[in-house]
């Protein structure tokens, strides 16, 4: 197995995002490191893929594409709840609060990461003064009680495919119980085929999004872009 330093050679770089806002959202945890920090005995902890944060430029471009994909008959963005499954230190939650979502919620099993995510909210709000209320729940993703649809679900390659399959089944149930408006933005979509096989999630787009220069220099993996897919539930 490759050592973390080989997988994420730039893991200790401090991102300009954190310097600007006084937050701690960067770094890298391997799956084993994440597992040691998570709650002991959590059933699905063995299926985590570790932690690294989404590049802000990638997140913002993905959300722009998602907003452009909304049909004219769809509810406005402020009707949607944003849920980051495997929220880590909460960078995606902070970025999501720039948009007028009804709710911004992070679900994170790792207790220390969830604590850091909560701690990041205050300095962010002091500078950005966004209207969105951000909540971070330390919880197993499959035990999370989903808010009513419409939903935008964010995934940054958080789990192995077995758990993504179970999550897709949960989301289908949420969509069936409400207006059926459930979208997914999936960064580094290692298990995209799992969502496709679920049957009700149609692929909206599948693109390689280029990072801006600041994100490239601070990316833990030394990457210059990320693959991002988006899905929409079709009842």
Interacting residues of 172 by C-beta distance below 8 A, sequence separation 6+? 182, 198, 200, 201, 233
Q: How confident is the model at residue 198 (pLDDT cuts 50, 70, 90)?
A: confident
Using CA atoms, how far apart are residues 31 and 13, in angstroms rounded to an integer? 19
Whether the pLDDT of residue 107 is over 80: the answer is: yes
Closest CA to 86 of 212, 191, 2, 223: 191
CATH entry 3.30.420.40 includes domain 7-233: no
Q: What is the mean pLDDT of residues 142-168?
A: 92
Using CA atoms, how far apart are residues 147 and 66, in angstroms rounded to an integer? 20
Q: How confident is the model at residue 1 (pLDDT cuts 50, 70, 90)?
A: very low
Closest CA to 53 of 188, 210, 191: 188
Can you give the residue ranges of every domain in the chain? 7-233
Query: Cα dist. 184→8, 153, 156, 171, 196 in Å?
Result: 26, 5, 11, 10, 12
Whether the pLDDT of residue 4 is over 60: the answer is: no
Query: C-alpha dihedral over 86, 89, 92, 97, to 10 degrees?
Result: 120
Using CA atoms, how far apart are residues 77 and 63, in angstroms rounded to an integer? 11
Percent of the chain whose pLDDT exceeds 70:
86
pTM equals 0.90
The tens digit of pLDDT for each residue in 57-76 reads 999 999 999 999 997 755 68
Using CA atoms, how far apart are residues 8 and 212, in angstroms rounded to an integer? 19
Q: How confident is the model at residue 35 (pLDDT cuts 50, 70, 90)?
A: low
- For tokens 């179970």, the residue is 166
Give residue 102's pLDDT.
93
Give residue 131's pLDDT.
73
């Amino acid at each position: 197995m490759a050592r973390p330093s080989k997988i994420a050679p730039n893991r200790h770089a401090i991102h300009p995002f954190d310097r600007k806002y006084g937050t701690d959202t960067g770094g890298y945890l391997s799956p084993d490191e994440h597992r040691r920090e998570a709650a002991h005995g959590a059933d699905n902890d063995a299926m985590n893929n570790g932690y690294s944060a989404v590049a802000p430029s990638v997140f913002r471009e993905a959300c722009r594409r998602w907003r452009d994909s909304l049909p004219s008959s769809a509810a406005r963005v402020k009707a949607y709840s944003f849920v980051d499954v495997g929220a880590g230190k909460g960078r995606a939650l902070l970025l999501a609060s720039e948009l007028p979502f009804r709710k911004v919620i992070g679900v994170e099993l790792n207790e220390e990461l969830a604590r850091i995510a909560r701690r990041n909210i205050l300095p962010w709000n002091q500078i950005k003064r966004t209207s969105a209320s951000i909540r971070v729940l330390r919880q197993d993703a499959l035990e999370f009680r989903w808010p009513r649809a419409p939903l935008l679900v964010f995934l940054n390659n958080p789990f192995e495919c077995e758990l993504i399959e179970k999550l897709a089944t949960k989301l289908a149930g949420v969509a069936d119980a409400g207006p059926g408006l459930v979208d997914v933005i999936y960064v580094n979509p290692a298990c995209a085929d799992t969502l496709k096989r679920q049957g009700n999630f149609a692929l909206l787009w599948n693109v390689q999004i280029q990072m801006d220069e600041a994100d490239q220099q601070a990316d833990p993996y030394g990457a210059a872009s990320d693959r991002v897919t988006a899905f929409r539930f079709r009842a």
